[in-house]
């Protein structure tokens, strides 16, 4: 590597060096705070009772809020909207098994903690806490079993879509499966954007 004596650098060269440095990615503490969350994938593709579930894995983004962000609600609202998943409601999760046949659903925990059952009766039970995000494929059952008094989630969907509501009812399975077959893969991941997340873990059949 050639070493340049600072007395030999012209004003023009110095300005070019400054422009080059400004274009380089940030490193260190700031970048660490904005690192991608750990993602857990759960395969819930077996029909349980009246819940069809889906071939796409359910994704849990653990602690998706950076350490330097104290307001999870505001952070999720901006993040989801920027990635094409505008927030539509704030509430808890229904305490009965249900699913959506016409869209995938995104839940961001803005406060508190809860235990949620996935995939239908006798399905796995997962703990969720502030900062976690859950991406639920169309057809996958979910139910809140217990929660702290301050538990709240932000619900979001791909832009332009609103969810239907199906219960654990075997008589509606044919209709629901037909709807699910027409749900498109989202173009962006709600948390990681154009890379990672569902862009890697959800593949077209």
Kindly state whether residue 2 falls inside one of the protein's structural domains: no
Total domains in the fold of the chain: 1
Residue 36: φ, ψ to 5°: -70, 145
Q: Is the pLDDT of residue 197 over 90?
A: no
**% of the chain surpassing 70 pLDDT:** 82
Kindly state whether residue 119 falls inside one of the protein's structural domains: yes
Digit-coded pLDDT (tens) for 4-13: 444 444 555 5
* pTM attached to this predicted model: 0.81
Domain that holds residue 187: 36-201
CATH number, residue 146: 2.60.120.10
- The band of 93, judged by pLDDT with boundaries at 50, 70 and 90, is very high
- The band of 161, judged by pLDDT with boundaries at 50, 70 and 90, is very high
Kindly state whether residue 124 falls inside one of the protein's structural domains: yes
């Amino acid at each position: 590597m050639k070493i340049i004596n600072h007395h030999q650098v012209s004003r023009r060269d110095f300005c070019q060096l400054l422009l080059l440095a400004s274009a380089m990615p940030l490193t260190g503490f700031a970048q660490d705070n904005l690192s991608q969350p750990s993602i857990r994938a759960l395969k819930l593709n077996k029909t349980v009772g009246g819940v069809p579930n889906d071939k796409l894995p359910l994704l849990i983004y653990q602690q998706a809020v950076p350490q330097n962000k104290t307001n999870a609600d505001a952070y999720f609202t901006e993040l989801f909207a920027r990635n094409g998943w505008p927030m539509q409601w704030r509430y808890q999760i229904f305490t009965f098994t249900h699913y959506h046949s016409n869209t995938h659903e995104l839940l961001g925990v803005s406060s508190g903690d809860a235990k949620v059952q996935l995939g239908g009766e006798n399905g796995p039970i997962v703990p969720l806490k502030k900062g976690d995000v859950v991406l639920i494929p169309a057809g996958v059952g979910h139910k809140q079993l217990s929660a702290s008094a301050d538990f709240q989630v932000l619900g979001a969907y791909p832009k332009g879509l609103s969810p239907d509501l199906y219960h654990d009812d075997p008589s509606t399975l044919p209709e629901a499966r037909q709807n699910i077959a027409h749900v498109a893969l989202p173009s962006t991941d709600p948390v990681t954007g154009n890379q990672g997340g569902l862009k890697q873990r959800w593949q077209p059949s």
